[in-house]
Structure 1
């Protein structure tokens, strides 16, 4: 009898890491359909498990989205920790958004998340600390109002640029230029020559 290939949806779940399988499937759905397209029942079907199985790890849709946001903040913290200066931090922020668009989309949608979740609050603190460290490297000395405003300005610039980029709002403006290189050049354009 000839062997037939089963589609991914026809294979029973056997690899032992249902939590990871559901997270990966959820990230795929979010990347194509946004968070609104996410359903635990559909994710269970994709993983080949009962419709109740994902709830064992995430309780509900909000729990799943909260886990995705926490993972995203951890990945962002790791990316920013390697930054060498202010411009590099901004470029790394944009690279993170491009490489992890589903995480990025969920991380900054507080209405979708459990704000008091320990894993999320810990991961948010790590990414905030990494951003602060990266900005402090290139910001005015100290923790005064200038340093605080520099952190807000850098985050706003990088986040806004990444959001516009992911929404394809910059497609006609970049003319094939590397988005990270463009982001690195933006602060120079905003600072008048001395």
Structure 2
């Protein structure tokens, strides 16, 4: 279950902040974060062009909120994939595949999650920090189980976690940029972890 709900029509006396975020997430499906304007978000949400300023002081605040929602959705996709896989090797494979598939399905949102202008490494927002910690714990826990498996035993959990994340993130980037087809992800992950 992804946490990125979408607004189908304009705002209709519900939660204006959520309606604005939903409208902005819709825009992120086709527009990069630097090209999103609060005026266009307001138009898509069906509210006045000043309405976003009541919830977000500026465009950067809106994009930071979208980054948090994107991180929550990425994490949920990975947790769901891990929960449905059996065995350490399969869970690590599922984790990586969910990461790559999320990036391929939501490239602009994925890019925003890792954009240092909205989520500076080492100093995430109060909303982003627990999501990052959960994501790191998920990967670290699955890698800790993996290094108990024959052929993997004795490997350093932190080093292997960093290597796997770097590889999967790089593959996601290559797929998002069109240098690799999405279909390459499964065999590549099989080659990596099996």
Q: Same fold (TM over 0.5)?
A: yes
Post-superposition offset of 1:98: 2.4
Find 2:114's aligned residue among 108, 115, 131: 108
Q: d(CA) in 1 for partners of 2:54 and 2:96?
A: 38
Find 1:147's aligned residue among 154, 157, 182: 157
Structure 1 residues not aligned, in runs of 5+: 1-7
Higher-Rg member (1/2): 1
Q: d(CA) in 2 for partners of 1:61 and 1:140?
A: 47
Deviation sequence 1:53-72 (CA, Å, 0-9, x none) = 11222222111111111112
Post-superposition offset of 1:100: 2.9
Q: Which residue of 2 aligns with 1:135?
A: 143
Superposition TM-score, scaled by structure 2 size: 0.76
Find 1:22's aligned residue among 20, 23, 32: 20
Alignment of 1:158-169 (within 5 A): 158-169=168-179
Whether the aligned pair in 2 keeps the contact of 1:76 and 1:93 (CA below 8 Å) is: yes
Alignment of 1:85-100 (within 5 A): 85-100=91-106
Whether the aligned pair in 1 keeps the contact of 2:11 and 2:46 (CA below 8 Å) is: yes
Alignment of 1:1-194 (within 5 A): 13-82=11-80, 83=82, 84=85, 85-113=91-119, 115-139=123-147, 146-171=156-181, 178-187=183-192
Whether the aligned pair in 1 keeps the contact of 2:20 and 2:52 (CA below 8 Å) is: yes
Aligned-pair RMSD on alpha carbons?
Answer: 2.7
Identify, as 1 or 2, the structure richer in helix: 1
Superposition TM-score, scaled by structure 1 size: 0.76
Structure 2 residues not aligned, in runs of 5+: 1-6, 86-90
Whether the aligned pair in 2 keeps the contact of 1:22 and 1:44 (CA below 8 Å) is: yes
